[in-house]
């Protein structure tokens, strides 16, 4: 095959990768882009989710003070966990359960402990993530087929990146001489746009396609009972260390501050961005947060009666493979360094969505013709062959 | 081999296909649209907006205490990979016993001791859940045993027939036709 026809073939492969499923790819890109900043969108829409420091020296309340404030305001509301979002202008997310059996998230002011409101029944953040992540197909036994459907797109995406760079000869020149011709008609404009945004998105498309290939592998491994995890199986507090009380009232537990202090003493640098209260009398209290490595959480399980640290899951506990695989999700979502990283991911998400659209527009204007021509050529070729065979 | 002389019937159908073949994938949007009602029903179920579960079993007296029991889903046990078939129950403790009960357990068949009381409930006294394994060879006339343990060490038990606790599970067991 000549060099020219080989590049023509690559070009056709590149064109056909997303074309038959362009709308599906587009919606997955758009929902993913929205999911990156879904928390911020809800923050904009819902004032109850916001918090601002009343004065420059106003301290944050401790988790114990938060629980005490909730108990004062609503004595029958039980707290299950508290988590402090990365950005300081967010209220705390507190999971609670009510006497009527509802289990919801409430937004609590971290400076006053005031319950500002209940998370609305329509959870935009969860919805966009579910739509983007598994096309809303329910999980029944193992991963949902929607998860496979979406994560399978990682392969054409990766192939688009590779074939795109193959057909765009000397693409690196585009970095120095950016071309975006606006006055030469739609075909030229969208072609320039596609190439220009493509080269600047190389890193982003690589990150997204590699991490989502991992999501595909992850589902496949889980559904075939292959595990690479070294995380310990969830422990229970030994029966002997759970006190029996003579008056039949619940055994006293340590304060959350004591628990956090104990954990920090054992694990230097541990951040306390969330606490989960014991889920029953035989379960541990957990404290966790990020440390110097922004892509991963470290957690400690603490005996709520004695304060002993029963188990930890630290960066150093992870194998090299786990450090890589557990970094995949934050890398995919851009949720590891605050709002600016999220905005970068959002921007490139928009660009990627536009690439799907511009690719489609280019095709409708050009590739249809190219394919027809290529077919015509191969027909002619076949015809020639037939004639030669007959004449021989 | 005659590739070029294929007559191309320029029918409306073919023109339609050529025009729309790359837009058929828009129909994939019907998948999330179709699952949307289930998605929102599930979200409401997990938030507890529609009660403890899809099917309330009712109040069960366990010694001096009682709890409100429900099936999270009114359906047969679901397969959970190699762990086997599982059935989720939810419960809420009575107001009075909220501070007296240390733990609540579920088991098929009478437990021999507190240490073998079965699976433990997780959650708060307002809303807690337990995932009970249902072996395929469970007899349809089996009983669901509830064990409650007090902070003072007291233990109380109650049983209810499986067909009362979960008719869908009994129907499923009967359908299994007594697998060995």
Q: What is the pLDDT of residues B35-87, one digit of tens each?
A: 999 999 999 999 999 999 999 999 999 999 999 999 999 999 999 888 899 99
φ, ψ (nearest 5 deg) of residue B84: 95, -165
B44 with B92, same domain: the answer is no
Question: What is the predicted pLDDT for the residue at B1?
Answer: 42
On whether residue A391 sits in a domain, the answer given is no
Question: What is the predicted pLDDT for the residue at A366?
Answer: 72
On whether residue A375 sits in a domain, the answer given is no
Cα distances from A226 to residues A134, A218, A235, B111, B169, in angstroms, run 21, 9, 22, 34, 30
User: Average per-residue pLDDT in chain B?
Assistant: 91
Handedness of CA A59, A65, A69, A70 (dihedral sign): positive
CA–CA separation, A209 and A215 (whole Å) = 10
Structure token digits, residue B50: 């529609």
**A102/B47 CB distance under 8 A:** yes
CA–CA separation, A131 and A123 (whole Å) = 12
**A141/B81 CB distance under 8 A:** yes
Domain span including residue B18: 12-50
B105 with B161, same domain: the answer is yes
Taking a C-beta distance cutoff of 8 angstroms, is the pair A69, A112 a contact? yes
B65 with B83, same domain: the answer is yes
Q: Which of B58, B133, B47, B132 is nearest to B91 (CA)?
A: B58
Neighbours of B105 (CB within 10 A): 21
B20 with B104, same domain: the answer is no
Does the CB of A142 have a partner CB in chain B at under 8 Å? yes
Question: What is the predicted pLDDT for the residue at A43?
Answer: 96
SS3 A275: strand
- pLDDT, tens digit, 9 for 90 and up, residues B152-177: 999 999 999 999 999 999 999 998 76
Which DSSP letter does residue A267 get? S
- pLDDT, tens digit, 9 for 90 and up, residues B126-136: 999 999 999 99
Taking a C-beta distance cutoff of 8 angstroms, is the pair A339, A15 a contact? no
On whether residue A175 sits in a domain, the answer given is yes
Neighbours of A133 (CB within 10 A): 22
Through-space distance between the first and last CA atoms of chain B, rounded to whole angstroms: 59
Question: Buried (b) or exposed (e) across A11-42, using 16+ Cβ within 10 A?
Answer: bbebbebbbebbbbbbbbbbbbbbbbbbbbeb
**A97/B127 CB distance under 8 A:** yes
Taking a C-beta distance cutoff of 8 angstroms, is the pair B101, B147 a contact? no
Q: How many domains does chain B have?
A: 2
B89 with B166, same domain: the answer is yes
Q: Which of A123, A22, A143, A135 is nearest to B34 (CA)?
A: A135
What strand order describes the sheet that includes B119-120? B119-120, B101-108, B143-150, B155-161
Taking a C-beta distance cutoff of 8 angstroms, is the pair B137, B158 a contact? no
Question: What is the predicted pLDDT for the residue at B22?
Answer: 87
A277: part of which helix (H) or strand (E)? Answer: none
Handedness of CA A253, A257, A258, A263 (dihedral sign): positive
Structure token digits, residue B59: 């109040």
**A136/B92 CB distance under 8 A:** no
DSSP string, A61-72: PPHHHHHHHHHH
CA–CA separation, A34 and A125 (whole Å) = 9
Helix and strand counts by DSSP (H, E) for chain A: 15, 8
Largest CA distance in chain A: 107
Nearest to A248 among B3, B38, B152 (CB): B152
CA–CA separation, B90 and B92 (whole Å) = 7
Question: What is the predicted pLDDT for the residue at A384?
Answer: 59
Neighbours of B104 (CB within 10 A): 28
What strand order describes the sheet that includes A285-290? A115-118, A103-108, A92-97, A78-83, A274-276, A285-290, A297-302, A309-313
Taking a C-beta distance cutoff of 8 angstroms, is the pair B3, A379 a contact? yes
On whether residue B3 sits in a domain, the answer given is no
Question: What is the predicted pLDDT for the residue at A381?
Answer: 66
* Burial degree of A359 (CB within 10 A; 0-12, 13-18, 19+): buried
On whether residue B7 sits in a domain, the answer given is no
What would the 3-class secondary structure string for chain B be? CCCCCCCCCCCHHHHHHHHHHHHHHHHHHHHHHHHHHHHHHHHHHHHCCCCCCCEEEEEEEECCEEEEEEECCCCCCEECHHHCEEEEEEEEECCCCCCCEEEEEEEECCCCCHHHCCEECEEECCEEEEEEECCCCCCCCCEEEEEEEECCCCEEEEEEEHHHHCHHHHHHHHHHCCCC
CA–CA separation, A307 and A253 (whole Å) = 9
**B92/A246 CB distance under 8 A:** no
- For β-strands A78-83 and A274-276, DSSP reports them as antiparallel
Taking a C-beta distance cutoff of 8 angstroms, is the pair A102, A118 a contact? no
On whether residue A100 sits in a domain, the answer given is no
The pLDDT tens digits along chain A (392 residues) read 677 788 889 988 998 898 899 999 999 999 999 999 999 999 999 999 999 899 999 999 999 999 999 999 999 999 999 999 988 899 999 999 999 999 999 999 999 999 999 999 999 999 999 999 999 999 988 999 999 999 999 999 999 999 999 999 889 999 998 889 999 888 889 999 999 999 999 999 999 999 999 999 999 999 999 988 888 777 889 998 899 999 999 999 999 999 999 999 988 888 899 999 999 999 999 999 988 888 999 999 999 999 999 999 998 889 999 999 999 999 999 999 889 999 999 999 999 999 999 999 988 887 566 666 767 777 766 665 655 444 44
CA–CA separation, A58 and A372 (whole Å) = 70
Q: Which of A132, A297, A158 is nearest to A214 (CA)?
A: A158
- At B101, which CATH number? 2.60.40
Nearest to A225 among B81, B151, B154 (CB): B81
Q: Which of A253, A368, A386, A354 is nearest to A307 (CA)?
A: A253
Taking a C-beta distance cutoff of 8 angstroms, is the pair A113, A99 a contact? no
B33 with B108, same domain: the answer is no
Note the pTM of the prediction, 2 decimals.
Answer: 0.89
Question: What is the predicted pLDDT for the residue at B81?
Answer: 85
B95 with B163, same domain: the answer is yes
Q: How many domains does chain A have?
A: 1
φ, ψ (nearest 5 deg) of residue B10: -80, 55
Domain span including residue A199: 3-43+125-228+338-369
Best mutation target, A95, A280, A375, A382, to test chain B (most B CBs within 10 A) = A280
A289: part of which helix (H) or strand (E)? Answer: strand A285-290
**B124/A99 CB distance under 8 A:** no
Q: Which residues contact B80 (CB under 8 A, 6 or more apart)?
A: A141, B86, B131
B92 with B109, same domain: the answer is yes
B96 with B157, same domain: the answer is yes
Does the CB of B50 have a partner CB in chain A at under 8 Å? no
Angle at which helices A3-18 and A368-391 cross, to 10°: 130
Chain A (202-261) residues lying within 8 Å, Cβ to Cβ, of chain B = 223, 225, 239, 242, 244-251
How far apart are the CA of A288 and the nearest CA of chain B, in angstroms? 20
B22 with B61, same domain: the answer is no
- Report ipTM (2 d.p.): 0.89
B167 with B125, same domain: the answer is yes
B158 with B95, same domain: the answer is yes
Structure token digits, residue A31: 């929902």
Question: What is the predicted pLDDT for the residue at A377?
Answer: 72
């Amino acid at each position: 095959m000549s060099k020219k026809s080989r590049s023509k073939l690559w070009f056709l492969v590149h064109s056909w990768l997303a074309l038959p499923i362009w709308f599906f790819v587009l919606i997955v890109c758009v929902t993913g882009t929205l999911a990156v900043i879904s928390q911020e969108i809800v923050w904009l829409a819902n004032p109850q989710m916001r918090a601002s420091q009343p004065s420059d020296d106003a301290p944050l309340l401790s988790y114990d003070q938060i629980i005490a404030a909730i108990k004062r305001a609503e004595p029958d509301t039980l707290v299950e966990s508290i988590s402090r979002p990365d950005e300081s202008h967010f209220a705390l997310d507190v999971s609670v359960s009510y006497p009527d059996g509802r289990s919801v998230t409430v937004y609590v002011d971290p400076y006053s402990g005031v319950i500002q409101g209940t998370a609305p029944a329509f959870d935009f953040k969860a919805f966009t993530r579910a739509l983007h992540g598994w096309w809303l197909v329910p999980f029944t036994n193992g991963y949902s087929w929607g998860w496979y459907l979406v994560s399978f797109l990682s392969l054409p995406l990766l192939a688009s990146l590779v074939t795109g760079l193959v057909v765009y000869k000397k693409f690196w020149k585009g970095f120095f001489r950016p071309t975006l011709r606006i006055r030469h008609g739609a075909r030229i404009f969208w072609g320039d746009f596609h190439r220009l945004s493509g080269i600047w998105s190389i890193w982003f498309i690589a990150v997204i396609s590699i991490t989502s290939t991992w999501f595909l592998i992850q589902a496949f491994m889980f559904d075939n009972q292959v595990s690479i995890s070294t995380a310990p199986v969830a422990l229970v507090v030994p029966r002997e260390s759970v006190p029996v009380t003579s008056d039949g009232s619940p055994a006293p537990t340590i304060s959350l501050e004591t628990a956090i202090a104990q954990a920090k003493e054992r694990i230097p640098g541990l951040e306390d961005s969330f606490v989960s209260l014991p889920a029953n009398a035989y379960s541990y209290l957990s404290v966790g947060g990020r440390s110097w490595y922004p892509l991963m959480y470290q957690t400690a399980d603490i005996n709520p009666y004695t304060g002993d640290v029963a188990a930890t899951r630290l960066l150093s506990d992870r194998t090299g493979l786990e450090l890589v695989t557990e970094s995949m999700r934050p890398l995919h979502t851009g949720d590891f360094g605050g709002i600016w990283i999220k905005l970068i991911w959002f921007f490139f998400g928009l660009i990627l969505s536009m690439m799907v659209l511009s690719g489609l527009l280019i095709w409708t204007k050009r590739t249809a013709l190219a394919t027809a021509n290529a077919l015509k050529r191969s027909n002619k070729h076949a015809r020639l062959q037939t004639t030669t065979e007959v004449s021989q | 081999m005659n590739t070029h002389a294929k007559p191309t019937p320029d029918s409306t159908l073919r023109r339609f296909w050529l025009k729309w073949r790359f837009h058929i994938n828009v129909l994939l949007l019907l998948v999330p649209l179709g699952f949307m009602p289930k998605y929102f029903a599930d979200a409401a179920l997990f938030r507890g907006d529609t009660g403890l579960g899809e099917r309330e079993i009712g109040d069960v007296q366990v010694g001096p205490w009682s709890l409100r029991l429900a099936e999270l889903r009114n359906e047969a046990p679901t397969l959970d990979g190699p762990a086997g078939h599982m059935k989720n129950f939810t419960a809420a403790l009575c107001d009075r016993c909220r501070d007296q009960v240390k733990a609540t357990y579920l088991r098929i068949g009478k437990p021999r001791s507190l240490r073998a009381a079965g699976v433990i409930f997780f959650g708060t006294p307002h809303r807690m859940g337990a995932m009970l394994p249902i072996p395929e060879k469970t007899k349809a006339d089996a009983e669901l045993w509830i064990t409650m343990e007090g902070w003072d060490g007291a233990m109380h038990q109650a049983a209810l027939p499986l067909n009362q606790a979960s008719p869908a599970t009994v129907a499923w067991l009967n359908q299994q036709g007594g697998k060995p």
